[in-house]
């Protein structure tokens, strides 16, 4: 199997779909929250794209490249995915709470 196929097996699939889905939900909630609070600013969108999209996705792909060439790092790919997903869930919960949505009932 060549390197490209191995790389696809490491990083693509369910992990990538859920990551982009969570980023999309976070992005939409950020826009809704900014409109709700009447603080919408176009620079916030570019900041979000630089931090969430570029930073998280590029970091995930970079870990995949390391794992491709050093097989002992292969467990780092799902671990990185879990950390990114936890960060995105945290961001989404914070935004929902700021919008007044009850996320976890006591």
Q: Is residue 45 part of a domain?
A: yes
Q: Is residue 92 part of a domain?
A: yes
Q: Is residue 30 part of a domain?
A: yes
Between helix 14-36 and helix 76-98 the angle, nearest 10°, is 20
| C-alpha atoms less than 13 angstroms from C-alpha of 68 in its C-beta half-sphere | 17
Task: Considering only residues 4 and 87, tell me which one the structure prediction assigns the higher pLDDT.
Answer: 87
Mean pLDDT of 93-99: 89
The number of domains in the chain is: 1
Extract the tokens encoding 19: 């990551």
pLDDT tens-digit readout, 36-79: 888 888 888 888 888 778 888 899 889 988 888 888 888 899 99
Is residue 106's pLDDT more than 70?
Answer: no
DSSP assignment of 4-33 equals: HHHHHHHH-SHHHHHHHHHHHHHHHHHHHH
Task: Considering only residues 101 and 85, tell me which one the structure prediction assigns the higher pLDDT.
Answer: 85
Range of the domain at 84: 3-98
CA distance 105 to 88: 20
Q: Is residue 106 part of a domain?
A: no
Which of 20-29, 39-48, 75-84 is predicted with the least confidence, judged by mean pLDDT? Answer: 39-48
Q: Do 27 and 51 touch, CB atoms closer than 8 A?
A: no
Q: Is residue 23 part of a domain?
A: yes
């Amino acid at each position: 199997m060549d390197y490209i196929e191995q790389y696809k097996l490491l990083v693509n699939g369910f992990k990538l779909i859920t990551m982009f889905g969570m980023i999309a939900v976070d992005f939409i909630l950020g826009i809704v929250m900014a409109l709700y609070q009447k603080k919408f600013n176009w620079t916030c969108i570019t900041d979000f794209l630089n931090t969430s999209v570029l930073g998280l996705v590029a970091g995930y792909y970079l870990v995949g490249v390391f794992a491709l060439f050093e097989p002992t790092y292969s467990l780092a790919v799902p671990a990185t995915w879990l950390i990114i997903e936890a960060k995105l869930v945290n961001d989404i919960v914070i935004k929902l709470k700021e919008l007044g949505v009850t996320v976890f009932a006591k």
